[in-house]
């Protein structure tokens, strides 16, 4: 999502990484922490990626970056709500394709009013983007921006694979998708 994501430098960020298409498409909480003074709580739903993130958190010793493992967003929400967590920013990949209408509504209650929401979503075809926007608006979110970022995502995936000498077939599911970036405000 790079420079498209806007948040105050002292933000309290909730990020969500379902990693359904492949484990490499995710919000990099460590990069956000490097670039700001934000506190970041990351929800992981893939146990392998959760363990990898914990290992990296132990190595970096950055106490602003925290990880929680949950089977899905509903479980994570219940935990956060029970601990009176409130966030100024929400950043996620594959959020709309992995949550229910109730999850969309629940998210509002752990975000501050006017909290920014940045979503990177896979779509199979352009008409699907319209249905995602309708779901967001129906729940009461205000759409700020939507843009097709398929080319940017493909370039980032290829660069990532080349730098790590990974087989590009590992990314085939992600490379077969169109990707859109959606910026939303918790209205």
CATH code for the domain in which residue 9 is found: 3.40.50.12180
pLDDT-derived band of residue 2, with 50, 70 and 90 as boundaries? low
Residue 174 lies in a domain: no
Long-range CB pairs of 29-33 (<8 Å, 24+ gap) are: 29/53, 29/65, 29/67, 30/56, 30/60, 30/62, 30/65, 32/91, 33/62, 33/64, 33/65
User: Whole-structure pTM over 0.75, yes or no?
Assistant: yes
Q: How many CA atoms lie within 13 A of 30 on its CB side?
A: 11
Give the residue among 131, 128, 136, 124 at the shortest CA–CA distance from 183.
136
**Quick one: pLDDT at residue 106?**
94
Range of the domain at 73: 2-148+180-186
pLDDT-derived band of residue 10, with 50, 70 and 90 as boundaries? confident
Our count of domains for the chain comes to 1
Separation of alpha carbons 60 and 50, rounded Å: 15
Instruction: Check whether 16 has a pLDDT greater than 90.
Output: yes
Query: What is the mean pLDDT of the segment spanning 10-34?
Result: 89
Query: What is the mean pLDDT of the segment spanning 131-145?
Result: 90
Residue 49 lies in a domain: yes
Residue 157 lies in a domain: no
The chain-wide mean pLDDT, for the chain, equals 90
Burial of 130 (0-12, 13-18, 19+ CB in 10 A): exposed
Residue 158 lies in a domain: no
Residue 163 lies in a domain: no
**Quick one: pLDDT at residue 117?**
95
Residue 22 lies in a domain: yes
Query: What is the mean pLDDT of the segment spanning 74-79?
Result: 94
Residue 26 lies in a domain: yes
Query: What is the mean pLDDT of the segment spanning 80-105?
Result: 93
Separation of alpha carbons 42 and 26, rounded Å: 10
């Amino acid at each position: 999502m790079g420079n498209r994501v806007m948040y105050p430098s002292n933000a309290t960020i909730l990020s969500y990484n379902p990693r359904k298409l492949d484990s490499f498409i995710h919000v990099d909480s460590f990069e956000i922490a490097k670039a700001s003074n934000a506190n970041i709580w990351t929800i992981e739903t893939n146990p392998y990626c959760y363990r990898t993130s914990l290992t990296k958190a132990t190595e970096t010793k950055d106490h602003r970056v925290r990880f929680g493992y949950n089977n899905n967003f509903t479980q994570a929400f219940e935990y956060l709500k029970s601990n009176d967590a409130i966030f100024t920013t929400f950043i996620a990949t594959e959020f709309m394709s992995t949550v229910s209408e109730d999850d969309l509504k629940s998210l509002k209650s752990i975000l501050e009013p006017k909290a920014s929401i940045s979503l990177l979503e896979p779509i199979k075809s352009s008409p699907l983007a319209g249905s995602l926007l309708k779901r967001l608006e129906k729940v009461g979110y205000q759409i700020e921006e939507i843009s097709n970022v398929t080319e940017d995502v493909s370039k980032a995936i290829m660069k990532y694979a080349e730098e790590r000498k990974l087989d590009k077939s590992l990314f085939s599911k992600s490379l077969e998708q169109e990707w859109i970036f959606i910026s939303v405000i918790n209205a």
